[in-house]
Structures are given as C-alpha cells and as structure tokens.
Amino acid sequence: MATPAAARKTDEQVEQSLYARAEKIYPREVHGLYARLRVLGVLGLLGIYYIMPWLQWDGHQALLFDLPARKFHIFFITLWPQDFIYLAALLIIAGLTLFFVTALWGRIWCGYACPQTVWTEAFLWIERKIEGSRLQQQKLDAQPMNVRKFRIKATKQFLWLALAAWTGFTFVGYFTPVIELGQRLLAFELGPWETFWVVFYGFATYGNAGFMREQVCKYMCPYARFQSAMFDKDTLIVSYIPTRGEPRGARKRSVDPKEKGLGDCIDCTLCVQVCPTGIDIRNGLQYECIACSACIDACDDVMDKMGYDRGLIKYTTEDEMHGGKTHVIRARIIVYATILLGIMAIFAWSLFSRTPLGLDVIRDRNQLYRETNEGLIENVYILKVLNMDDVAHTFELKVSGIEGARLHMDMPEIRVDSGAVLELPVSLRVEEGALEARSTGIEFELAAKGDPALAVTEEARFLGPM
C-alpha cells in the first residue's frame, strides 16, 4: 500500500501498482454539468458524514451506534441488540435499492455517491490545489527529488493525513459519543481501542483515496463485478457513439469533416485524459468504467469549440444506440420495485408497531410443582422483563387462565430502567380444585402503569398433580 518504495516508484512514471503494471493515472480536471453534479454529491455526502455525529436529538446524539452501551440511536428510534433484525432488514433494503437504481440508471452510484469516489475526489482536489494541473503533476513526478518537490509533496501528504485522521475520528464518533470522544482526544486520554480504530479507519481512507483509487473499483469492489447482472438493453450507460464519431481524426476547425470523410471525433484524447480509471470510452462499454461522465463533460466542451452538436459521448442506452427507444417501465424494473416496496412497507410497519417491551417466562426447572402449607399448588417462574423504551417504567403484572390464581413476588413493585433487564422470580398459587388437567395454559400480562399501550402477554404452563 502506501509504502515508501511505492512512492519512490511513482517518480519513475511507471509504477508496479498493486494489480497490474500500470501507468499512474493523472485524471485531468473537468468542468461541466456532470462535474458540477459530482461536486454537489461529494460536498453533500462529505458534509453529511462529517456533521452528522455532532447533531443532537432529544438530549442524545441524533445518530449514534452506541457500541459501549449496546443501543443504537437513530433519531427518534432506539434499537437494542434484540432489534438486530431491523438493521439486517435495513441492509437488505439498501442492497435492493442499489439493484433497482443499477437496473434503471446503471453505475450512477459509482460515479457520484460511492465513498471510494467521494473520498478520491476530495484527495484529488487537495492534490490539484497543491501540485497543480495534470501536466504540472506529471512534470513534478518526472523531476528528481529537490527542495521544491519535497516541500510540495510534504504539504500534500500532510493535508492528506490530516483529512484521513479527521475522517477516522468522525468514524469512531458514530460508535461512541462524539463530544466525549473529542474531549478525551484533546486531553490525550483516548482509550487504546478508540485510538486503534481512529488510526485504522484513517489509514484505510488514506490508502484507498490517496493511492489505491481506481484499483479498488477495478480489483476489489464486489459491486463492480456483479453490477452487470442488473444491466439490460434499457439501462443508462455512458457511451461513445461510434456511428457518429468514426472515422476519427484530427482536422482544422474550418475543414468540413464530410469532405475529408471524417466522423465527429477529432481524436483529441481528452476523454482519455480525464478518465479516473484510465480507459478509452471509445473502445465500448468496459467494466472499469464507473460512469462518472467526466468524458461527457470533456467531449461536450470540445464539440462546442468545434461547432458540432454535443453528445458524441453521452448517457444513453443500448436500445437507443441501435435506433430504438428506451423502455423505462419493463419487467425487471417492476419486479425490483415490487420487492423493494414490499420489504420497505413490512419494515416500516413492524418498526412503528413494535412494542418496546420484552417479557420472557422461564419455568423453575428444579421442581414441577409444590404443595404449600395451606394446601395450594405452587409453580415458580422467573420472568425477564426488558424495557426497551427511552424512560423507566413501573409495570403491573396479571395472570389469567386459572380461576383464583394468586401471584406472589418478593419485590414491592416492578420498576425497570430504560434499557435494563429485570429478573423477577414469581410464584403462582392455585387451589387444586381449580385445575382440570396436569398442565394448564396460562398467560402473563405485563403492562406499564399510565401507558396501557406498552403491554405484552406471554404464554406459560402451570403444572399440577392431576
């Protein structure tokens, strides 16, 4: 990864990169509609990432996966480890959304929203601010080391490391309260594991966005490998229109290409120079293409200068390229959308109708039943009460199923703090005459005082001598 050896080899123009013997890619800066959209996406997503942990909601951090306290705050929802299913469902929804978006708009995720793209853009921006344009960067790297080069490289590395460290700190701030984390950081009192994760995530950011860049997309990203499975003839792709562009060739602006027998492509190679993955879009659809549309911006600019129509490279679909029309509504889209909406509806319904109260009834295994001095039949249970609400509650316990059953417990009241589990031993005594079978079904009903909606019932068995 970011070894000094790798950095040295960068100076030799050609580097033995991780996967292939490849030239270092110096993406040329582009301006245009899609570049502006990407900057908007990058700024928006980075802004959300860095600011989100600092937002407060109802007296706690708005988004906090509080691992030390074993509860997740997501705005007005608090999830406990028992609610793991909701997080799993959320991941499934995210995955299906990606499928749906891919079928419709292709690799739009890769080009505008993937963290790899977003942080690479941020690191590229720093690189351009410090080292200058593509040409200046190439010239600098070709030079032998000197004071000026060292100063420039050191400044860039310092800024990269600072951004990476801040990123790592923010990451840990999602999992442990960020304000206290910041205070501990300023007092040099970070715990060993907090330090470990700040450094780990910071290093990952630095390595991925500073050095690995497009190689992550090409060689490590699972999505890049299977996204083509979601593609069909109506999926939006970035494509060069060969029928219009070929035969390509240089020409003067004043020359009529038709007279020379040329297409609209002037072979300026700007589309290749701006490509962050270093491919030539004119060779057709390639799996390396992350659909960032930098080549569209670059080519449109050239077309404007030449006085030709825009769109020699453009967002299009296979159907459209072959003279047909794009079918937005199609079986694949309907199927993905139906599954997605179905799961989202079930998820929302179950999340909002969930009772933040858990009751577990465990029978005392030591004896089936006991006869008391008064001649009553007694069964002993251990009740586990889990209060998943944000406030403490006092509960009322009732039992039903056997006429005249009397409930005894040692505690004067059932009070459970927010997020706490109470183990409550109770005994149930009935008159033998009330039992009709050896085993009778009963129900424990637990309800919060003053909040009848917060209630659960749990079935259990009562065993007797019959």
Partner 1 sequence: MAEQGIPNIQKCIAVLWPSFLVAIVATGLFFSAFDPDDLYPFGNETGISRLGAYSIGFLAFWLVSAVSGVGTLYFAVTNCMRQKR
Residue with tokens 């292939």: 20
Question: How many Å apart are CA 397 and CA 417, to the nearest integer?
Answer: 17
Per the CB < 8 A criterion, the answer to whether 97 and 104 are in contact is: no
Q: Which of 57, 158, 193, 226 binds partner 1 (CB under 8 A)?
A: 193
Question: Is residue 191 involved in binding partner 1 (CB under 8 A)?
Answer: yes
Of 66-74, 110-118, 251-259, 382-390, the window that binds partner 1 (rule: CB under 8 A) is 66-74
Looking at beta carbons only, is 16 or 400 nearer to partner 1? 16
Count Cα atoms within 13 angstroms, Cβ side, for 185. 20
Question: Is residue 378 involved in binding partner 1 (CB under 8 A)?
Answer: no
Of 30-38, 81-89, 256-264, 266-274, the window that binds partner 1 (rule: CB under 8 A) is 81-89
Looking at beta carbons only, is 176 or 440 nearer to partner 1? 176
Ramachandran quadrant class, 404 (left: phi over 0; alpha: psi -120 to 50; beta: rest): left
Question: Is residue 7 involved in binding partner 1 (CB under 8 A)?
Answer: no
Per the CB < 8 A criterion, the answer to whether 341 and 361 are in contact is: no
Q: Which of 105, 174, 203, 219 binds partner 1 (CB under 8 A)?
A: 219
Question: Is residue 192 involved in binding partner 1 (CB under 8 A)?
Answer: yes
Of 64-72, 366-374, 389-397, 411-419, the window that binds partner 1 (rule: CB under 8 A) is 64-72
The C-alpha torsion from 158 through 160 and 164 to 170, rounded to 10°, is 90
Question: How many Å apart are CA 61 and CA 333, to the nearest integer?
Answer: 38
By CB under 8 A, what part of segment 160-189 binds partner 1?
A: 175-176
Task: Name the token pair of 381.
Answer: 């249970």
Long-range contacts of 321-329 (CB under 8 A, 24+ apart): 321/239, 321/241, 326/234, 327/234, 328/104, 328/234
By CB under 8 A, what part of segment 194-213 binds partner 1?
A: 194, 196-197
Question: Is residue 81 involved in binding partner 1 (CB under 8 A)?
Answer: yes
In the complex, the smallest distance separating the C-beta of residue 386 from partner 1, rounded to whole angstroms, is 12
Question: How many Å apart are CA 14 and CA 17, to the nearest integer?
Answer: 9
User: For residue 65, which of 163, 208, 203, 197 has the smallest C-alpha distance?
Assistant: 197
Per the CB < 8 A criterion, the answer to whether 94 and 101 are in contact is: no
Looking at beta carbons only, is 114 or 377 nearer to partner 1? 114
In the complex, the smallest distance separating the C-beta of residue 417 from partner 1, rounded to whole angstroms, is 16
Looking at beta carbons only, is 209 or 430 nearer to partner 1? 209
Q: Which of 14, 19, 143, 243 binds partner 1 (CB under 8 A)?
A: 19
Question: Is residue 226 involved in binding partner 1 (CB under 8 A)?
Answer: no
Q: Note the residues at the interface with partner 1 (CB under 8 A).
A: 16, 18-19, 67-68, 70, 81, 84, 87, 175-176, 191-194, 196-197, 219-220
